[in-house]
Structure 1
Amino acid sequence: MKAVLGDTVIAEAPKEDLIQIEGNWYFPPASVNAELLEKSPTPYTCPWKGECQYFSVKDGEQLLQDRAWSYPTPYESGIARVGKDFSDYVAFWKEVRVTD
């Protein structure tokens, strides 16, 4: 599967390597082009997943604020709920299309 913004592939991995949580596809960290992400200071803590790290996504010269996120150290109870360790996996907001 691919995460695509415009014509740029931000992440790509086989579907079996992704994790789906609450309707969002989370890509393994090694499958994401980190050069296209910039850490954001936006704070958020999910009540069951844990502390979130937001990223802004580079789209050419434009920076799309908080369009990607991950959970660097999810709660153990969150990992148990998902059934797999999703530490540092990255999900994307709607402007980034996830396709087969």
Structure 2
Amino acid sequence: MVKVVLDGTVLAESDKTVMVENNHYFPPDAVNKEYFTDSSTSTVCPWKGTAAYYSATVNGQTVRDIAWYYPETKDKANNIKGYVAFYKQNKVQID
């Protein structure tokens, strides 16, 4: 089981993550979306596609662009379409 915790709050938890480039990608239903808001940030990966980002608010504190996902993917990344990965920041605990 892999868990993402921010300030004592579980943001995501699953035993069905997919590892890509040393990041755990969580299935969409494993993410507690009540803590997230869409960000205007996007980035492009040459083999995965265009990533969209989430910011998270926990206990009144917002961490911008804490997570990303690929709403649409290129063929080689279809296994992570819609899955959510998290930045390994000093406030985020990924176990």
What TM-score, normalized by structure 1, do the two folds share?
Answer: 0.86
**Any residues of structure 2 matched to 1:2-81 within 5 Å, and which?**
2-14=3-15, 17-79=16-78
**Partner deviation per Cα, 1:51-91 (whole Å, 9 max, x = no partner):** 10111111211111111000111101333xxxxx1111101
Distance 1:98 1:72 in 2: 23
* Equivalent residue number for residue 94 of structure 1: 88
**How many residues are paired up?**
92
Aligned sequence identity (%):
40
What TM-score, normalized by structure 2, do the two folds share?
Answer: 0.90
Letter in 2 for 1:76: D
Letter in 2 for 1:23: N
Q: Extract unaligned runs of 5+ from structure 2.
A: none
Q: Describe the SS at the equivalent of 1:41.
A: strand
Distance 2:77 2:24 in 1: 16
Q: Extract unaligned runs of 5+ from structure 1.
A: 80-84
